[in-house]
Structure 1
Amino acid sequence: MSPNAAVPSVFDLQSLSALKNGVKDADPKALKAAAQQFEALFLQMVLKSMRDATPREGIFDSEQTRMYESLLDQQLAQVMAAKNGTGLAAVIERQLARSAAGPDVLLDEPMGPLPLMPGGQPHSLTPARDAGLPLAPMDRSGGMRLDDAAAVPGAAVIAPTSHRQGGNDTTPPAGASEFVSRVWPHAVEVSRATGIPAHFMVAQAALETGWGKSEPRLADGRPSYNLFGLKAGRSWTGPVAEAQTTEFVDGTPLRQVERFRAYGSYGEAFRDYAGLLLSSPRYAGVVGTQDAASFARGLQQAGYATDPMYAAKLERIIGGNALRVALAG
């Protein structure tokens, strides 16, 4: 961005109306500005958390000073987002551009009220390749059976969530500490930008991959780095790991071959996952919560997984001894 480029003011209410009109017309400049506003909101959340963590006392601590600090933080967030920020705006901009391209590109199913049994598979957006899709029509439990490798030549192998180790064990599964040490720095990086607790994301990655032992692999044996079970939609042009997976349809498990996205690193996988949660209104409540139960239930209710026990399993891992020991190690 040019140093002389105008930075939106928190007091400029007319710019919001102009931005809404521009987004409706799919104006690329308006989409970019809207993405920056989303990033500014999350940067503001980060700044607020920093303020809340700072001890307050003395004559300069009052409702008036807090109001001016809040205004300062809002404007600072606008400035940071307008000057490239954390990179989240670029991810969200790609998703907005994909949305504006039309329903054939955006969706594999018509949008409507969420069913009581959450349906749909979240697709992702990766800044290095392609903006992902919101929800595709195929349900998924997030995993594959270990004994299905021979059924699909070159397929990735993932243990289904019903067979993965939870968080109530007195000792962590073998290799859990090593898995956590590999993914933790990336979780912390994304947590700072989004406010999602890092150990929530690590716990979900552990659930999806069996603590890293069932991470999908490409046909040639290379790792896919897919930690969150995100599938490859029609817009995906990157590497793909195919595998047989167990899908829950109306509560009944079904077996089918699915295509999963492959990344170049764990960092890409975490950014992709974060971009999905940030850009989809379905996950708005998930991003803002610091409560493990609300996070787990919110994911399932938003359609992230169809395993009826997914939320309970994730909550157990988040609060379980296995993750605590792995993090301490």
Structure 2
Amino acid sequence: MDQNFSINQLEQSRNVHDLKGLDSLRRAAQAGDDKALDEAAKQFEAIFVRMMLKSMRDAQDVLADKDSPFNSQQVKFYRDMHDQQLATDLATNGNLGLADIIVKQLGQNVDGYTPASVLRDDGNLSSINRNQIKALDNIQQQVLGPVSLPGNKQPAFADAEEFVAALLPHAEQAASQLGLDPKALVAQAAVETGWGQQMIHLSSGQNSHNLFGIKADSRWQGDKALVGTLEYEQGVAKPQKAAFRAYSSFADAMQDYVTFVRDNPRYSKAIEQASDSQAYFTELQQAGYATDPNYSNKILQVLNRLP
């Protein structure tokens, strides 16, 4: 190995706990040393191997005996250190071959491989992504109809007290049509909007007044706002974009909620239990109103705190 670095110096970087060895690798790469690329590729492969080992360990921990002395935090700490070094050693031996592919891809003069710099310049990936996004937008417009420019979420109330005071009169009128406790509606709105601190606003800055997270489908003819939301799939929260209904006032939002749940057959069992807030929200969740598995519990916790 030429220039200012010896093979032994670079090999020290394979010890994941040897900061001096890692620094040697960094300086060798800066000096343009070909051996540094080879060593760095092996360490990238080691990262991949560590990820696989960690996944296997995590799966094992699920079934582990919590009372076993071999399942303590101290044991896991040293086990993880061992796995890190094991991954580096496996990568160094070239068992997977990933490092060789990285070297060929990042190298400049390897037959049969296009240099990474060319891919970055001429791959035209950004254009492909733009076309995919445009195609998805076209599909969405066909399903949802025209959507307002992307909206955002921002506060609409100074605090929880102001939130309750502003909404309770509208909730009393709406809840009477369902036979529901007005405060239950306020509690649901509080969960959906974070006590009014995460109210959906249109791109123009206008408040959508959407209190209950009701989405806009092809049947909705009013304004819409496209914003980020969390949807739960098999208990795991995933960020998504969705179009939500926009109203001219909180009174309109309350009335639309009443119509939405009352006229939809899937929520008929919830309406039958409207006199019992706990039963109502339990049935509402089971009918698929929200994907959050703790949705009804969150509302009931808020409801119990309301004066």
In the superposition, the TM-score normalised over structure 1's length comes to 0.45
Give the structure with the higher percent helix.
2
In the superposition, the TM-score normalised over structure 2's length comes to 0.48
